[in-house]
A and B are shown apart, each in its own frame.
Chain A
Amino acid sequence: MLRRVRLQNVRNHDSLALELGPGVNALVGPNGVGKTSVLEAVHVALRGSSPRTRSLREVIRRGEQVLRVEVDIDYGDRVVSAATGYDRSGERRMTRDGAPLDDYTRWEAEVPVRVFLPDHLLLVKGGPRRRRRYADGLALAAKPGYREIQAEYEEALRQRNYLLRRGAGAAEQAAWESVLAERGLELNRLRAEVLQAFSPRFAAGFALLAPSEAAEARLVYRTNAAGLTAEEYRERLAEERPDDRNRGYTRLGPHRDDVRLFLGDRDLREFGSQGEQRTALLALLIGERRWLWEEAGRWPLLLLDDVMSELDHERRRALFSALEEGGQTLISTTTTDYFTSAELATMTVIRIGPGPGRPTTEQ
């Protein structure tokens, strides 16, 4: 779990340090004091990127050159510090206990982080790429060989795309298409299995957050290679070769998969209200959280921005009890009124005031 968080020159904070507790942590303060920036900073420390913006430069406090965020991760038997520094020239440095970290993805395996920002609904509303990545995250936790199959598929795809552009004899094309078809079907099969197993959890998460909704939520796996045998897959690749050559890329295969979120027979990406899309996003996070725990034995750290104001009294209780099952959560909120006194007794409240001054932690 995360223990200490220290930020320097992040958004409106010049310097801020806070102590987190296990379980649910509430960051409480009026609008504009930079609660979301604290959540953002934790993400920056562990991932080297911001969930709010593509440019870390925007995150540097105005008039300053360098931002720095450091978090202490308590593994029970030892404490490791993770830090990210970024300066205006674009230089980013991530460290683990002070030593430079070459592989930024390393923390993802050790400390998975998931974020809910009410205005960032791209996972639900945006293009399929994010949803593929989400499905990959589920599969990686549940299927140990997944990463390798996926890497092989992508390698075979690159090789075929390269051959398309360069041009090659039929036998050479066919050889790579066979390799591609085999990996593609394997990836299809694994994704289908994982999404089928996961869909009921998404439904349960959605029902928990929107109990008056009569229709059932579900995930629908869209793949353009559905139901093909290896033979048919290879034939399709061969047939599409001239057309693919004109386009310069391969159309058939799981690299073009999508995962759609449905409520009854409505595709929430196109026909969901803003409220339904937010509920769907939160349901994905809660479902994924449990999935990672059950399949990989790790609770991800959840960063929830202003989630309580969206929910009514009962839904807050339902969400809170889901969060209490395990793992650590940071929730930003304007008031503790959203929590019952019983809940407040089990959680950590961190007050952030306007202007300079230390945040206070209450148990």
Chain B
Amino acid sequence: MAAARGAAAVRHGSKLFSPPIQRLIDELSKLPGVGPKTAQRLTFHLLRLPPEEVLPLARALEEAKERIGFCRKCFNLTEEEECELCRDPRRDPSLICVVEEPSDIISVERTHEYRGRYHVLGGALSPIDGVGPDRLRMEELFRRVREEEVREVIVATNPTMSGEATALYIAEELRPEVEAGKLRVTRPAAGLPMGGDLEYADEVTLSRALAGRRDV
């Protein structure tokens, strides 16, 4: 780790910066989507601000990290042992919507169409990146399905290849329950965006929408 940081430091020409500045740059550049240049810019921006504008950020980070954890049931982010959605008695516990990340829950919730529970996998299968089923909350999902009275699992992983493989994996593992007639495993339909013009739909979306066509 020290060696890696040293190498990164040389790369950024950091001999110029004193250690606290360099540490901040290094930490910021670990964030997704932030490269060394952006990290440097952010660092200098933060250092220019008066303390009363920067310290709330530090405190917010600390507080969020201290107080927010994973729901022990669905692995959504929560301040409690169990998240609000898992505790809400009006939600149908026989329905589980499986998503890759906690932020996906917000997208589904915005539809106001779904009244079941969730399960956050924490990613999607990608062998090359070292992500197999053991790195995701798969066993926890299967245990929930077997122990709770679940009628349907809706696999709402992303419409990427990783998301698709993840959905197929879940379907395969739950096949005994499905074949016993106790469970349905479904996947949201892929198709054209509403309000969009056919003319502007990309070819892959359009060809998949055509493949999944229905009677009207």
Contact with B along A284-312 (1 / 0, CB 8 A): 00000000000000000000000000000
Task: Kindly list chain B residues whose C-beta atoms are within 8 Å of the C-beta of A159.
Answer: 126-128, 161, 165
Q: For the side of the interface on B, what is the size category?
A: 10 to 19
Task: Kindly list chain B residues whose C-beta atoms are within 8 Å of the C-beta of A175.
Answer: 125, 165-166, 168-169, 172
Task: Kindly list chain B residues whose C-beta atoms are within 8 Å of the C-beta of A156.
Answer: 161, 165
> Once the chains are docked, how many angstroms separate the CA of A222 from the CA of B168?
30
> Once the chains are docked, how many angstroms separate the CA of A342 from the CA of B107?
69
Q: For the side of the interface on A, what is the size category?
A: 20 to 34
Is B35 located at the chain interface by the 8 A CB criterion?
A: no
Q: A174 with B168: in contact, given A144-B203, A163-B127 (CB under 8 Å)?
A: yes
> Once the chains are docked, how many angstroms separate the CA of A299 from the CA of B132?
47
Taking a contact as CB atoms under 8 Å apart, the answer to whether B127 and A168 are in contact is yes
- For residue A342, give the distance in angstroms from its CB to the closest CB of chain B: 44
Taking a contact as CB atoms under 8 Å apart, the answer to whether A155 and B125 are in contact is no
Is A162 located at the chain interface by the 8 A CB criterion?
A: yes
> Would you list 16 pairs from A and B whose C-beta atoms are within 8 A, ordered by A residue?
A145-B207, A149-B204, A158-B128, A159-B126, A159-B161, A162-B127, A162-B128, A163-B127, A171-B172, A174-B169, A174-B172, A175-B168, A176-B125, A178-B165, A179-B165, A183-B161
Q: Nearest 6 pairs between A and B by C-beta?
A: A145-B203, A175-B169, A175-B168, A171-B172, A162-B127, A175-B165
Q: Which residue of A lies closest to B205 (CB)?
A: A145
Residues of B within 8 A of A (CB): 125-128, 132-133, 161, 164-166, 168-169, 172-173, 202-204, 207
Is A166 located at the chain interface by the 8 A CB criterion?
A: yes
Partner of B165, one of A148, A169, A176: A176
Partner of B168, one of A149, A152, A178: A178
> Once the chains are docked, how many angstroms separate the CA of A169 from the CA of B168?
13
Q: A176 with B172: in contact, given A144-B203, A159-B165, A169-B133 (CB under 8 Å)?
A: no
Q: Which residue of B lies closest to A156 (CB)?
A: B161
Is A172 located at the chain interface by the 8 A CB criterion?
A: yes
Taking a contact as CB atoms under 8 Å apart, the answer to whether B128 and A168 are in contact is no
> Once the chains are docked, how many angstroms separate the CA of A179 from the CA of B128?
15
